[in-house]
Amino acid sequence: MSVVPFQTAPDDPTARQAIALAGVFQAAALVDQLARTGHCDERAWQTLIKATVETNPESFEAIYGGHHNNLRQGLEILNAVVGRERTDPSVLRYGFSLMMLMQKLRKQPAMLDTLGERLARVQDQAEHFGETHENVIASLGELYQNTISTFRQRIVVQGDPALLQQRMMPERVRAILLSGIRFALLWHQQGGRRWKLLFQRSAMKKSLDRLL
């Protein structure tokens, strides 16, 4: 999002892309976990929400809390994708759908501006209540619903209907989907392209091996 681009980063561009894309797949995995079990890894959840709320990080590393292990779940999934290993099809579908929606969003400058303005307000809210307070999650969920969810192509989340109707669950799922969009934008800002996943798999795999 012109929406406060993430600015500084490690020297290796492939590592930057891998870390950003790990955020996308971590979001995909958490959406799947929430939809099927009603729970998700707390560290992974907090990392994504804080990265979404913090619109002006001091450094690339600050986006994900200073250590790539905060995105380890996403890194492991990405490593399986690049290595053509078996990966949960629902997680893959959510991840690649987030990348597709990011591309659509990039063609909507007015929506990008709206997201940037609204996220700045959510950041103020987070400073008052805390990044993962339910008021902040509700605001992030509403923001996703009012922007990304208006595209004709949407992400249909599949899981346990009873869980998905629980209090705050729709908001939690939408907040994580918004975080996936943010990391997809970061991935693109760092030079990530879908064709590179096919033609530069070896370089990506080497970066992932170092990170893991």
pLDDT-above-90 percentage for the chain: 86
Interval 191-205: pLDDT, tens: 999 888 888 889 999
Whole-Å CA distances, 136 to 35, 53, 69, 168, 174 = 20, 9, 24, 11, 12
Question: Is residue 6 included in any domain, yes or no?
Answer: no
Question: Is residue 94 included in any domain, yes or no?
Answer: yes
d(CA 98, CA 44): 17
Interval 134-161: pLDDT, tens: 999 999 999 999 999 999 999 999 999 9
pLDDT band for position 22 (cuts 50, 70, 90): very high
**Residues of the domain holding 31:** 13-211
d(CA 154, CA 170): 15
**Number of folded domains in the chain?**
1
Instruction: Provide the CATH number for the domain around residue 72.
Output: 1.10.3890.10
